[in-house]
Structure 1
Amino acid sequence: MNNAIREKEKMTIYQVFPRWFGNLKTTLVKNGDKTENGTGKFSDFTPGVLAKIKELGITHVWYTGVIEHATKTDYTAYGIRKDHSAVVKGKAGSPYAIKDYYDVDPDLADHVNERMAEFEDLVRRTHDAGMKVIMDFVPNHVARQYYSDARLSYVQDLGQQDNTSKAFDPNNNFYYMPGQALILHFGAKEEDFEYSEFPAKVTGNNCFSTSPGKNDWYETVKLNYGIDYMNGGSYHFDPRPDTWNKMLDILLFWAGKGIDGFRCDMAEMVPVEFWNWVISEVKKAHKDILFIAEVYNPDEYRNYIYTGHFDYLYDKVGLYDTVRAVMCGQSPASDISYCWQSLEGIQKNMLNFLENHDEQRIASDFFAGDPRPGIPGMIVSAAMNTNPVMIYSGQELGERGMDEEGFSGRDGRTTIFDYWSVSSLRNWINDWTFDGTKLTEDQKRLREMYARLLNIVRTEPVIVNGEFYDLMYVNKSNPYFNSHRQYAFMRKYENEVLLVVVNFDKIEQTVRIELPPEVFKALHIRDNKAAQLTDLLTGERSVSTLTDAFPYQVTIPACSGRMLKFTY
């Protein structure tokens, strides 16, 4: 059986954090260690679990936190050096404080000595389930005590040949503050000796201080790609800096494991010239591999797409921030139009989402306090264009993220620093594997809605390939349409027209949508011609028409939407 993903599908990503995804432990201790709180494993992604993820309408799984990172758990018995507690956040540690680019997190293995083979098995199982694999590539910074014990003999370790008497050298892998020691003024001391670093390395968030603060990325050090920040930011890219070559080798190493794509952490903190070179080099050997960039500066979007050769960029500062404000009643729905307008020409390259590991959960007290406003938000994010859309594990169950796990605190996010388990996911796993009584009816309905939506946007040709037409400009002053709480647009492909209307209100609304003559001309729609009408979210069918002679009336449920497909 060929499980390859069909070419004409929209990319739908399921981000999942393996450390807590499969952890079913219910007795949890704040700041607990691995023994107390348990940990998920690669093996928790069984064929059955992967089938259920695929059932949501998922094409790609982003396994977050796979590469070995600094931790307070002692793995010295397996030849892995111990990290000093002063430079580890939380008991489990940050998955973005990379300790060995050539290894996987031992926490996630059933048998630590076989951890890489277990990860390779996970990649195979995911492919067998008909989905592709995305993993993190963290290029900007590494753990303060980075050391690769898994690298091949021909690979020189990061910093191994650095001239530490120089603050900057194009062939150094790190930046230094010669003659000065690192000083940390915070953190519980768990060892009987202080953490020592001399000379001090520059901290990962470009903190050029020997005393990084508590809010700095103090557990990491910045990698040197040939920019001399100490002297005005001059570029030294020719000859090619040593770090560039090392990063290429790392990317090729993981691509060789069958990885289908990389989500590149804080990509804009690494020069676009590096990406221009390295992505081209990787794609020479693996032409279909994807690169997704975490970039937050809209002024740099086109640079990272056209010069950097990224396939997709996070649309956080634009669509995410705007839709979040609309969901929370802080901005009018009509503001969403400004998002696509600012992205004219590159919308297809943006990755849309409403949750990820950095952002607060929709249902948390810090966001909407309720998962239902996420439905209209996801319809907009998923159906506006041909570009990919992502959900975060637990989002489809209304996970609130309101636990106080330890280092993270109660912040509306699900911890990436602590050993923990997530109640909504525990209940979901128990629900379909055992007695079917763990999830609430609301959670079941929410997951069913996400599954319907993601399967629709993944496969419907009018969404996968169609043109987009915004209807807000003609309805902004429409007395029968509240542009503060409703949003409407159309998509068109061949003989299909899709009218999408969402309602951010918590009560049902009946609206009348003005359809301007321009939309019929722009999308080549026959005015007032009878068409078969399918409500994609309910499956209901009828016959209807679209015309500019009078508004189209539709009733929209609270915190939901209608996706009306007209087939001519």
Structure 2
Amino acid sequence: MIPKEYPRVVIEAVEPKVDGGRFPIKRVVGEKITVSADIYKEGHFKLAAVLKIRQVGDDEWQESAMTQGDNDRWFGEFIVTAIGRWEYTIEAYAEIYLSWVDEITKKSVPGADLRSELLEGLVILKKSAAVAQGEDLSRMLGIIAAIETALAAGEQRGAIDLGIGKVMHSMMASYPDRSEGHQMTPPLTIMVNRPIARFAAWYEFFPRSQSNLPYRHGTLQDSIRRLHDIKAMGFDVVYLPPIHPIGHSFRKGKNNSLVAVPGDVGSPWAIGNKHGGHMALEPQLGTWDDWNQFVATCRELGIEIALDYVMNCSPDHPYVAEHPDWFFHRPDGSIKYAENPPKKYQDVYPLNFGTSDRAGLWQEMLEIFLFWIGKGVTTFRVDNPHTKPVPFWEWVIGEVHRQHPQVIFLAEAFTKPKMMRLLAKVGFAQSYTYFTWRDHKHDLTEYVSELTSGEMKEYFTGNFFANTPDILPPILQFGGRPAFIMRAVLAATLSSVYGIYSGYELCENEAIPGKEEYLDSEKYEIKMRDWKAPGNIVDIITRINQIRQECPALQTYNNVLFLNADNPNILAYAKMTEDRSDIVICVVNLDPFHAHHSILHVPLGTFGIPEDEQYQAHDLLSGERYRWHGPTAYVELAPTTKMAHIIKVRRW
């Protein structure tokens, strides 16, 4: 069957897009998006293309012209200016007027009869004039009349000059004939988040451990006092583990023991008791007035609150009695507790997302999000999202964003890479990563390149946590203070989003033998710390965060350029702004036990620095300044002196 209509222009290979457009790309407010596509048409027509953008729900498109590059590749760009969902498309069309100008110019040789071509041109001009308005219409009609007069008088050259002249050329650019064109459908989408989704320093702490008296349960008031120290270190997001009432049945004791003794506080992840569940506060932390004061203090200090969103219930949770069908039942009728073999969590009942009351369960999970947003929470760190149906996340994040597009979701998904990627696609703005276990040069280079290049860079933002309450990696267990410094620099500069769990600044590294877990874990007991203990790296963490704030290059996620350093124990990489006004080189000794030196190869051409020009290497960590010349430099790093350089490249 002969088609009634067909695209008059081919638009294909559009970038950026995710899974052919199934999922939105991710950006933050103020970020520029460069769009490219292959655009072509049969024959020899001149083409034009416009990039069209709008916020979802708007009626009118904003247009900007695209430019043609090599081999029919076209380019356009725009800046997203507000949070929420955006969409963009491309309209391309045969530029009938310019094609006519090209044809008649080529044919305009002495003796050529171009009367027919001029009549064709008049038809083109009149069609555009029909949609012109005001002064433009008058000017176009005047030129058209002059062309007709010249043509009638046999003044072919004069008629051509009028038709292709600057004035008519400008008028026709304002009123192009797009009848032989095509607009790509459906449009592609963008999820635009707040800038803090792509540039932030996270600090995780347990409010119950903030007391300054041994063994006394900390409160929100204690936490308010702690906020000032956290802000002084340069952190702008505080992440709180669950702060809800903790169950008593099968409560875990210290070091995850199966038997709790009087005074054991249990795991915050075993949520729910007679005081309530996910929409209640643990009474020992304080009252809602205390919470409101905590929120107000965070706002005064410019700190955002990230709350752990955990879909666990203790056997004492109100849901167990009110909605028994929301849980997994064994054949004997008992409710199945959570397991992650060989680990067992007798104090936790997981929710059954396959329940016959799926609508009720899903709606309740949404209500928990909305409740805490109403209480001042702006970010949710979601516990184990890979163990819940992905369609649930796509639905619930979409529902939250429909009412509160400013909310940010972080996926704590240490799972298969494809699942981590899918969770990012369906709405998680950030994700935990495997950075924690990447210690060697080739591993770090390969992994960071994977996260920040290709299609993955369009939707995935890795939050590089150096440690967590669950993870004390071997490099920190055995590498001592130099390892803590080294890993902090890597986390804070390889990614624009990073975090630490409290105690990191004290270089806490006592582990359960043979495991990557803390001994005397804070997950099961209250810990009291001396924040000024000898050997702490508070000043170094503070300086790293100051450097991140001072250097725009370190505030961008997808701009890591790995440099060649001859020593396999030396990792070197650069970040720079698009205009090269800010260039930062990081050089890190990956061996916390030995000194290492290397020849560093500096890509002067990429930096826009002539090879015969001297330039300054200003180490922002130590304050030292070096005079470098040429494409190579010598670096030396040692555990006893410095583990890393964060160098700002300055031209003299």
Consecutive unaligned residues of structure 1, counting only runs of 5 or more, are: 26-36, 75-84, 110-114, 148-156, 163-171, 181-198, 207-212, 228-235, 324-331, 432-438
Give the corresponding residue for 1:11: 200
**Is it true that 1:508 corresponds to 2:617 in the alignment?**
no
Q: Which deviations, in whole Å up to 9, do the C-alpha atoms of 1:184-224 show, x marking residues without a partner?
A: xxxxxxxxxxxxxxx21122238xxxxxx883122111212
Give the deviation of 1:265 after TM superposition: 0.6
In 1, the alpha carbon distance for the partners of 2:635 and 2:210 equals 40
Secondary structure at 2:521 match in 1: coil
1:145-184 to structure 2, matched below 5 A, reads 145-147=316-318, 157=319, 160-162=322-324, 172-178=325-331, 180=332
**Equivalent in the alignment of 2:649:** 566
User: Where does 1:401-416 land on structure 2 (aligned, <5 Å)?
Assistant: 401=510, 412-416=518-522
Query: Does 2:293 correspond to 1:103?
Result: no
Among candidates 409, 418, 421, match of residue 299 of structure 1: 418
8 Å Cα contact 1:90/1:418 also seen in 2: no
The more displaced of 531-540 and 276-285 is: 531-540
Partner in structure 2 of residue 28 of structure 1: none
Aligned to 1:538: 622
The answer on 1:353 being equivalent to 2:465 is yes
Q: In the alignment, is the contact (CA less than 8 A) between 1:73 and 1:92 conserved in 2? A: no
SS in 2 for 1:46: helix
On the 8 A contact 2:445/2:562 being kept in 1, the answer is no
Which residue, out of 381, 388, 400, partners 2:509? Answer: 400
Q: Distance in 2 between matches of 1:128 and 1:467?
A: 31
TM-score (norm 1): 0.70
- 1:184-263 to structure 2, matched below 5 A, reads 199-205=333-339, 215-226=343-354, 241-263=359-381
| Alpha-carbon contact 2:249-2:316 (below 8 Å) kept | no
**Cα distance, 1:60 vs structure 2:** 0.4
**Cα distance in 2 between the residues matched to 1:538 and 1:21:** 32
What letter corresponds to residue 265 of structure 2 in structure 1? Answer: A
Report deviation, 1:385. 3.1
What CA distance in whole angstroms lies between the structure 2 residues aligned with 1:125 and 1:93?
28
Paired with 1:89 and 1:453, the residues of 2 have a C-alpha distance of: 42
**CA deviation after TM superposition for structure 1 residue 562, in Å:** 0.5
Which residue identity is paired with 2:546?
N
Distance 1:133 1:200, change over 3 A: same
Q: 1:463 aligns with which of 551, 554, 564?
A: 554
The DSSP-based 3-state class of the residue aligned with 2:365 is: helix
CA deviations on 1:508-549 (whole Å, 9 max, x unpaired) are 33321124xxx455565544444343211022345434x43x
1:22 corresponding residue in structure 2: 211
Change (3 A) 1:22 1:530: farther
Superposition pairs of residues 326-337 of structure 1, within 5 angstroms: 332-337=440-445
Judge conservation of contact 1:103–1:116 (CA < 8 Å) in 2: no
Deviation at 1:69, TM superposition (A): 2.0
Alpha carbons of 1:361 and 1:383: their partners in 2 closer, same or farther (altered >3 Å)?
same
- Residue in structure 1 matching 2:222, options 29, 38, 44: 44
For the Cα contact (< 8 Å) 2:619–2:646, is it kept in 1? Answer: yes
Distance change in 2, residues 1:394/1:43 (3 Å):
same
**In structure 1, the residue corresponding to 2:588 is in which secondary structure?**
strand
**CA apart distance, 1:397:** 1.6
8 A Cα contact 2:264 2:524, kept in partner: yes
1:59 aligns with 2:236: yes
Pairwise CA distance, 1:293 = 0.8
* Cα distance in 1 for residues equivalent to 2:550 and 2:199: 7
**Hey, what's the Cα distance between the residues in 1 that align with 2:381 and 2:247?**
20
- C-alpha change, 1:66 and 1:411, in structure 2 (3 Å) is same
Percent identity for Structure 1 against Structure 2: 22
1:502, distance to aligned residue in structure 2 (A) = 0.6
Aligned partners of 1:137, 1:534: CA distance in 2, in Å? 42
Q: Give the SS at the match of 1:250.
A: helix
CA gap of 1:123–1:88, structure 2 versus 1, over 3 A, is farther
Q: Distance in 2 between matches of 1:71 and 1:258?
A: 28
> Take 1:160 and 1:509, find their aligned partners in 2: how far apart are those partners?
62
Instruction: Provide closer, same or farther for how the CA distance between residues 370 and 87 of structure 1 changes in structure 2, counting only shifts above 3 A.
Output: closer
Q: Secondary structure at the match of 2:279?
A: strand
1:552 CA drift (Å): 1.4
1:373 correspondence with 2:550: no
Q: Which residue of 2 aligns with 1:274?
A: 392
The number of residue pairs the alignment matches comes to 437
- Residue type of the partner of 2:638? P
Structure 2 distance, partners of 1:13, 1:88, is 33
Q: CA deviation at 1:346?
A: 3.8
Contact 2:199–2:555, Cα closer than 8 Å, also in 1:
yes
Counterpart of 1:247 in 2: which secondary structure?
A: helix
Pick 1 or 2: higher relative contact order, CA cutoff 8 A, min separation 6: 1
Alpha-carbon contact 1:87-1:218 (below 8 Å) kept: no
CA displacement at 1:104 relative to structure 2 = 1.2
Residue pair 2:240, 2:305 contacting (<8 A) in 1 also: yes
1:313 equivalent in structure 2: 431
What value does the CA root-mean-square deviation take over the aligned residues? 3.2
Amino acid at match of 1:136: D
Matched, 1:556 2:643: no
Identify the match of residue 339 of structure 1 among 438, 447, 452: 447
Taking the TM superposition and a 5 Å limit, the aligned residue runs for 1:514-525 are: 514-515=601-602, 519-520=603-604, 524=608
Instruction: Please say if residues 490 and 499 of structure 1, whose CA atoms lie closer than 8 Å, have aligned partners that are also in contact.
Output: yes
1:241 Cα offset (Å): 3.0
- Verify the 8 A CA contact 2:385 2:413 in the aligned structure 1: yes
Q: Which amino acid aligns with 1:132?
A: E
SS of residue paired to 1:320? helix
Letter of the aligned partner of 1:333 in structure 2?
K
Choose 1 or 2 for highest CA Rg. Answer: 2
Q: CA deviation at 1:91?
A: 2.0
Partner SS for 1:370: helix
Under a length normalisation based on structure 2, what TM-score does the superposition of the two structures give? 0.61
Q: Compared with structure 1, are the counterparts of its residues 8 and 241 closer, same or farther at alpha carbon in structure 2 (3 Å cutoff)?
A: closer
Paired letter, 1:562? H
* Contact 1:467 1:491 (C-alpha < 8 Å) held by counterparts: no
- Aligned partner letter, 1:454: N
Residue of structure 2 in register with 1:165 after alignment: none
Give, in whole Å, the separation in 2 of the partners of 1:51 and 1:161.
42
User: How far has the Cα of 1:455 moved from its partner?
Assistant: 2.1
Q: Which residue number in structure 2 is paired with residue 435 of structure 1?
A: none
In 2 relative to 1, CA 90–400 (structure 1 residues): closer, same or farther, beyond 3 Å? farther
Question: Whole-Å Cα distance in 2 between the matches of residues 383 and 51 of structure 1?
Answer: 24
Query: Structure 2 regions of 5+ residues with no counterpart?
Result: 1-193, 252-257
- Whichever structure has more helix as a proportion of its residues is 2
* Residue of structure 2 in register with 1:34 after alignment: none
Measure the CA separation in 1 of the matches of 2:429 and 2:609. 32
Report the Cα offset of residue 159 of structure 1.
Answer: 5.7
Alignment check: 8 A CA contact 1:23 1:420 kept: no
User: SS in structure 2 opposite 1:339?
Assistant: helix
Alpha-carbon separation, structure 2, partners of 1:285 and 1:175: 32
Residue 390, structure 1, aligned to residue 496, structure 2: no
Counterpart AA for 2:478: A
Is the 2:551–2:582 Cα contact (8 Å) retained in structure 1?
no
Match of 2:575 among 473, 481, 491: 491
CA deviations 1:452-471 (Å, max 9, x no partner) are: 11221244101103763443
Equivalent AA in structure 2 for residue 358 of structure 1: D
1:39-87: CA deviations, max 9, x gaps?
A: 111111235x32221111101001223122214799xxxxxxxxxx979
Q: Tell me, yes or no, if the aligned pair for 2:570 and 2:597 is still in contact at 8 Å.
A: no
Shift in Å, 1:359: 1.2
Relative to structure 1, is the Cα distance of residues 176 and 313 closer, same or farther in structure 2, using a 3 angstrom cutoff? same
